[in-house]
Amino acid sequence: MKKFAPLLEGAENYPVVHDGCPISMPPMINSDRTKITLDTKNVLIEVTALDLQKAKICLAVLASQFSAYSEGEWKHCVEPVKIEYEFDESRNETTPTLTYVDFDVEIGYINSRLGLNLSTD
């Protein structure tokens, strides 16, 4: 914990995930209570980032990928979490947002970025 403590110096607010006691305080601690094992049934995916939009995208991808390993009727299910901001209730939101956006991209751009030679076919 020592090496991360300076990150919170002078901060008025900082993230804490708790369930009666702190579960996680990114990037400070991750509790033994939250370690994943082969017997794990529920997973809370927490993402910390400096860019909110990138964090939301990362969370959506991780939640979607984890859901593929659920069993039975829960396969590919993601339960949302409501985030309540104590200092600004207008910012409250439910996450992850699993919406998608369609956009056009040039095939040449994809090929140049990925080092491929795809065609539109």
58: CB partners within 8 A, 6+ apart: 47, 49
| Residues 6 or more apart whose Cβ sits within 8 Å of residue 99 | none
Two tokens, residue 69: 């390993």
Q: How many CB atoms lie within 10 A of CB 96?
A: 21
Least confident of 4-8, 16-20, 24-28, 60-64: 24-28
The pLDDT, as a whole number, for residue 59 is 92
24 or 71: whose pLDDT is higher? 71
Q: Can you list the alpha helix ranges (DSSP code H) found in 2-116?
A: 52-67, 107-114
The residue with tokens 């990138």 is 54
